[in-house]
A and B are shown apart, each in its own frame.
Chain A
């Protein structure tokens, strides 16, 4: 597992930047939480038996984990591939493209867990977590972390220009986030939206996080986790293929 060594490189960087990185990244979910939860929440009476803040808080955990993984494997990976040529430098060593991809998604997944954990701590502090099951949320976040980092690195593999990540964010991540059940239940939407939600990875992640925060454990959660895991398994070979094309000529 040479990927561990690539991961070690990323962790050497993380040790230097973690503080500013976390400080900067947890502001945004906190803003949403206050604006939506306290602001909008005053006008919303009851969400499936919860206050609005209670309803959206676990979604903030899932979504900040999603953004962390996505940013790392879009901008982060692209910089390593295209500008800093870190991938090329590592590839001259005894590793394969698969190791490099695996090392990157391990790191992105790790970061997504860390950011999820930070937001989880915040919402617990705000009293928005009802169950000890929530302790398993960071562990669960590994699965969507892999899915989102793989999706992102696949996009990175076909992107020639760093500006193109705007499209990934505005045309994919943001809509996926808005229609994921973070802010309102998907079943309040037309039927086809509900169908589309099943291929929306963040929907599955939000469902599991919310259920765990509420202690509402049921077998359906395994289905959500399974769908995410399936995405990850399908995407891994694709990511390796696309990166091979970029690195080896």
Chain B
């Protein structure tokens, strides 16, 4: 199942005289969960909006289901489900009516749409909110309803722009589980997230974006193996208490150091060995944490949030 469902080539976007997207290329396979990571303003939403027809393709090319376009045509939009970054539920309608009316927009009959809507409420754990007003829903419940709404048309691709922002941990796990079951049905998922754990849990493949460019792409495992050493030691000491020359010593041992705000992150191939050296270099162990490297380290390193110390 390796058909490409989305392909971008040198896709760019300029707002006024600000170049928000600087020519990115990627391709997404059918059935995959594909993630976009990146700081605020990296260009994730800009890319998503071009896919689902809220923004025009003016530079480079974008293909969905092998069709290229300037503005996503209705025939393609009919096969997408969209969870936009902002909750845009219909405040004039209650929960079930929101789904019903949205189904009608996709060409379902009222009756079909209602049945499907009720199934989706159950699917997203919202069945007891059927007749609630939108106003009365908490932020997390709204988010779940937006996800339910995006599934009303049995989409082939679901685009999720920060689907779990604002959700509590339980709700986030519930959403993950639902997204996994969609994936098991063969639905392609395209998502953005600020949660590295979410990306690791769900994404087969992802890109790290920064200021409108893609810095790296691959599976989470590939990115971790490629961009950082296997072990990380976090040193949480005020910078003034960090012994002079620590960075040089670590580097001399073949490690790497980056500074993340007020902490130092040390990376090494042999974490144990570096860990054992720390005390001798005057770094108290209570302030340190040894752990395997993860996607967050990749992100910090690539996006320059961690400055080289």
Q: Using a CB–CB distance below 8 Å, which chain A residues touch chain B?
A: 2, 5-6, 8-9, 12-13, 16, 84-86, 88-96, 247-249
* 12 A/B residue pairs, CB under 8 Å, sorted by A: A12-B100, A16-B92, A88-B88, A89-B84, A90-B105, A92-B52, A92-B53, A94-B75, A94-B78, A95-B74, A96-B74, A249-B49
A65 to chain B, nearest CB (A): 23
The one of A2, A12, A248 in contact with B93, judged by C-beta atoms closer than 8 angstroms, is A12
6 tightest Cβ-Cβ pairs between the two chains A and B: A85-B88, A94-B74, A94-B78, A92-B82, A89-B88, A93-B105
8 more contacts with CB within 8 A, not counting A92-B53, A94-B105, are A8-B101, A84-B90, A84-B92, A88-B84, A89-B102, A94-B77, A248-B56, A249-B54
Where chain A touches its partner, the secondary structure class is helix
Shortest CB-to-CB span from A228 to chain B, Å, is 30
Which residues of A are found within 8 Å of B84, using beta-carbon distances?
88-89, 92
By beta carbon, the residue of chain B nearest A84 is B91
Is the CB of B15 closer than 8 A to any CB of chain A? yes
Encode B100-112 as 1/0 by CB contact (under 8 A) with A: 1110111100100
Which positions 257-299 of chain B face chain A at CB distance < 8 Å?
A: none
Q: Contact between A9 and B54 (Cβ–Cβ < 8 Å)?
A: no
User: At the interface, yes or no: B256 with Cβ under 8 Å from chain A?
Assistant: no
CA distance A88 to B90 in the complex (A): 11
Q: Give the interface residue-count category, chain B.
A: 20 to 34
Residues of B within 8 A of A (CB): 15, 49, 52-56, 71, 74-75, 77-78, 80, 82, 84, 86, 88-93, 97, 100-102, 104-107, 110, 153
Contact A248 B71 (CB under 8 A): yes
Q: Knowing A9-B90, A86-B90, A248-B71 touch, does A94 contact B82 (C-beta < 8 A)?
A: no
**How many angstroms between the C-alpha atoms of A45 and B77 in the bound complex?**
64
Q: Is the CB of B106 within 8 A of A8?
A: no
Residues of B within 8 A of A96 (CB): 74
Q: Is the CB of B107 within 8 A of A5?
A: yes
Chain B residues with CB under 8 A of A94 = 74-75, 77-78, 105-107
Contacts of A13 on B, CB cut-off 8 Å? Answer: 92-93
Distance in Å: Cβ of A14 to nearest Cβ of chain B = 10
- Indicate the member of B49, B53, B97 with the most A CB atoms within 10 Å: B53
Contacts of B78 in A (CB 8 A): 93-94
Q: Among the interface residues B56, B71, B101, which one has the most CB atoms of the partner chain A within 10 A? A: B101
Rounded to whole angstroms, the CA-CA distance of A12 and B91 in the bound complex is 12
- Closest B residue, CB atoms, query A85: B88
Least CB separation from B86: chain A residue: A85
Taken together as a complex, chains A and B put the C-alpha atoms of A13 and B91 apart, in Å, by 10
Which residues of chain A come closer than 8 Å to B104, judged between CB atoms?
A: 5, 8-9
